[in-house]
């Protein structure tokens, strides 16, 4: 391959036609992104430390205040409220319960049920008096012998096993309980829901004679519970031993185990005579006080949601965290401004080789992608050259590694002096260098490489008394449209190995249409 010469200028006329390209722009590769990421990461870590410290302090303060409020609520406030509510409910219900028990123990009533004769008039009179004295909504008695339903107004009906409305009787009798509170439709007035206090009537031998009791207007009881709810700011549930909600200040119904939060603890609540719990989390706290009312075989549940004090502390926590976040943002801005002054130095360190100051190998892919795309768009040429210092191992073995390092720096400087600032020059590894020449065809690239080779011959390394000639072997190739960087470098490497085999200190290209090499 014939090789021409061109003057030792920083540009050859044909290569300059491509226009200036900023090597700094080309060299911004993933390493720079990593350095910038490290810069941002430092600012974020600093802000995170401040945010974490202030946030932790705020959270600990909040948790301490919350613990104190929780202790106050569960050990003092809620028990007092529960006792007051239980006392009011017992006052409303104990008189009817006592009256129902007295009815069951009434010898006249027992005698009337035991005799096989018509006693409806006697029973009606007795039930009227009890209803008047207890101010109950109704008073009743069911005879086990006749299954007649006696009311203060007379015999209402005869219970039938086929009537679902009469199921309450067999259920209560089969339960074995002596007394229960049951919410049901009034047999005398099916349109009205009534709280019945049912009591067994047994003779001296324990034989069942019937069931008696009084009924309270459910609306009065519900109004009482709503009044307590308004006064104390709590929800109130009356639950039987099976977990069925009989009365609720908020109109809740169904089974206790189906209620949010408390459902999972329903078995524990129903089995306790006196229990305080805190359920829920993340601002959905629910305080539960369960008290057993043995006379009615009921559990009274007083439920208090998040208190105003807790809500205030929760809001304060949010405000403190917002303030900590604002301080962290300010710190990020200040840190970014401070670190920005060192950004150029960090970028230089990231993309250059420490020993030679040339671009490092990691920057190659970005530069190649930029230049190859620009070459394909404009129809320009892109040459790649791999250069290797001849007999470099011999230099290290003979003169030592410090001289070897000096040779690397010397060669880097001499090559850079003969190429354009826009031509990316890389320390490729060890004693190898790689050069990209944008806008240079085969002839133009040869001229540039001949200038480098001649410059090296004219400038041996001078180190003290030592004058050390240095030569390079060159592998040259041109980029083909759509070709990958790996294929391009592989072909340039093959040309370099050919130059080494054929005597070193020469330029070799294996591209079709070339003579092969130039010494």
Q: Which range (153-167, 302-316, 355-369, 411-425) has the least confidence?
A: 302-316
Residue found under tokens 């200036």: 20
E-strand ranges in 59-169 read: 138-143, 148-151, 154-158
pLDDT at 290 over 90: no
**C-alpha–C-alpha distance, residues 135 and 429, integer Å:** 105
| Residue-averaged pLDDT of the chain | 81
Nearby residues of 449 by Cβ (< 8 Å), 6 or more positions away? 385, 474, 476, 507
pLDDT of residue 308: 59
- Give the pLDDT of residue 8: 30
Most confident of 34-38, 258-262, 326-330, 412-416: 412-416
pLDDT at 486 over 50: yes
Residue 29 pLDDT grade (very low, low, confident, very high; cuts 50, 70, 90): very low
- Asked if residue 64 has pLDDT above 90, the reply is no
- Does the pLDDT of residue 504 top 60, yes or no? yes
Average pLDDT over residues 287-292: 86
Is 67 or 425 the better-scoring residue by pLDDT? 425
Q: Is the dihedral of CA 390, 396, 398, 399 positive or negative?
A: positive
Highest mean pLDDT pick, 105-119, 123-137, 272-286, 480-494: 480-494
pLDDT value at residue 15:
41
| pLDDT at residue 516 tops 80 | no
Residue keyed to tokens 């302090």? 57
pLDDT at 363 over 80: yes
Contacts of 57 (CB under 8 A, 6+ apart): none
* Res. 65: pLDDT tops 70: no
pLDDT, greater one: 432 or 337: 432
User: What average pLDDT does range 500-510 have in this prediction?
Assistant: 94
3-class secondary structure for 306-329? Answer: CCHHHHHHHHHHHHHHHHHHHHHH
Whether 7 has a pLDDT exceeding 70, the answer reads: no
Least confident of 17-21, 137-141, 412-416, 436-440: 17-21
Is 119's pLDDT higher than 90? no
C-alpha distances (whole Å) from 260 to each of 82, 256, 264, 279 are 20, 9, 8, 10
Q: Which residues are registered as beta bridge partners of 339?
A: none
Q: With cut-offs at 50, 70 and 90, classify the pLDDT of residue 118.
A: low
pLDDT at residue 425 is higher than 90: yes
What size, in residues, is the chain?
519
Query: How far apart (Å, rounded) are the C-alpha atoms in residues 498 and 68?
Result: 84
**Low-confidence winner among 15-24, 340-349, 474-483, 487-496 (lowest mean pLDDT):** 15-24
Report, as an integer, the average pLDDT of 437-457: 95
Per-residue model confidence (pLDDT) at position 18: 39
pLDDT digit string (tens) for 190-247? 888 888 888 998 888 888 888 988 888 888 888 888 888 888 888 888 888 888 888 8
Chain centroid to Cα 243, Å, comes to 36
pLDDT tier at 10 (50, 70, 90 boundaries)?
very low
The tens digit of pLDDT for each residue in 390-402 reads 999 999 999 999 9
Measured between alpha carbons, how far is 408 from 497 in angstroms, rounded to an integer?
20
CB atoms closer than 10 angstroms to residue 267 = 12
Contacts 24+ apart (CB under 8 A), 3-6: 3/446, 3/447, 3/450, 3/507, 3/518, 4/443, 4/446, 4/447, 4/450, 5/447, 5/450, 5/451, 5/454, 6/447, 6/448, 6/450, 6/451
Q: What is the pLDDT of residue 13?
A: 33
Task: In whole angstroms, give the CA distance from residue 58 to residue 52.
Answer: 10
- pTM, two decimals, is 0.46
Name the pLDDT band for 260 (thresholds 50, 70, 90).
confident
Confidence band, pLDDT 50/70/90 cuts, at residue 6: very low
Residue 431 has what DSSP assignment? T
Residue for token pair 């540009």: 11
* Cα-Cα-Cα-Cα dihedral sign, residues 15, 18, 22, 27: negative
């Amino acid at each position: 391959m014939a090789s021409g010469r061109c003057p030792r200028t920083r540009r050859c006329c044909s290569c300059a036609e491509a226009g200036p390209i900023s090597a700094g722009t080309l060299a911004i590769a993933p390493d720079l992104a990593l350095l910038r990421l490290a810069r941002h990461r430092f600012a974020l870590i600093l802000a995170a430390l401040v945010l974490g410290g202030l946030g932790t302090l705020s959270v600990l303060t909040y948790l301490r205040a919350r613990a104190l409020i929780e202790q106050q609520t569960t050990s003092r406030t809620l028990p007092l409220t529960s006792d007051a509510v239980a006392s009011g409910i017992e006052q409303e219900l104990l008189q009817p319960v006592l009256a129902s028990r007295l009815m069951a123990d009434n010898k006249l009533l027992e005698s009337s049920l035991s005799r096989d004769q018509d006693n409806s008039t006697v029973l009606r009179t007795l039930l009227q008096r009890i209803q008047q004295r207890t101010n109950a909504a109704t008073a009743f008695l069911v005879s086990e012998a006749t299954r007649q339903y006696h009311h203060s107004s007379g015999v209402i009906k005869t219970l039938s096993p086929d009537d679902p409305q009469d199921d309450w009787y067999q259920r209560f009798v089969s339960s074995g309980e002596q007394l229960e509170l049951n919410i049901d439709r009034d047999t005398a007035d099916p349109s009205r829901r009534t709280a019945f206090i049912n009591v067994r009537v047994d003779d001296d031998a324990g034989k069942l004679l019937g069931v008696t009791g009084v009924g309270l207007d459910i609306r009065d009881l519900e109004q009482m519970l709503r009044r307590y709810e308004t006064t104390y700011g709590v929800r109130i549930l009356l639950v039987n031993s099976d977990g069925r909600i009989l009365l609720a200040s908020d109109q809740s119904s169904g089974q206790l185990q189906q209620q949010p939060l408390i459902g999972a603890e329903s078995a524990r609540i129903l089995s306790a005579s006196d229990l305080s719990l805190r359920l829920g989390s993340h601002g959905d706290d629910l305080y539960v006080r369960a008290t057993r009312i043995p006379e009615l075989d009921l559990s009274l549940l007083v439920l208090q949601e998040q208190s105003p004090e807790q809500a205030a502390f929760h809001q304060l926590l949010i405000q403190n965290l917002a303030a900590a976040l604002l301080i962290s943002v300010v710190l990020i801005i200040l840190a970014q401004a401070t670190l920005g002054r060192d950004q150029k130095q960090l970028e230089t360190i990231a993309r250059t080789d420490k020993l030679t100051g040339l671009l490092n190998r990691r920057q190659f892919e970005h530069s190649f992608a930029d230049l190859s795309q620009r070459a394909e768009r404009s129809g320009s040429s892109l040459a790649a050259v791999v250069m290797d210092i001849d007999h470099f191992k011999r230099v290290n073995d003979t003169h030592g590694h410090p001289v070897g390092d000096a040779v690397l720096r010397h060669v880097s400087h001499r090559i850079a002096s003969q190429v354009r600032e826009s031509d990316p020059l890389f320390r490729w590894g060890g004693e190898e260098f790689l050069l990209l020449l944008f806008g240079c065809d085969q002839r133009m690239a040869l001229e540039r490489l001949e200038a480098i080779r001649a410059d090296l011959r004219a400038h041996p390394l001078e180190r003290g008394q030592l004058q050390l000639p240095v030569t390079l072997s060159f592998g040259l190739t041109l980029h083909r449209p759509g070709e990958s960087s790996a294929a391009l470098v592989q072909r340039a490497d093959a040309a370099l190995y050919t130059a080494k085999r054929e005597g070193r200190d020469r330029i070799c290209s294996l591209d079709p249409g070339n003579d092969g090499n130039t010494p």
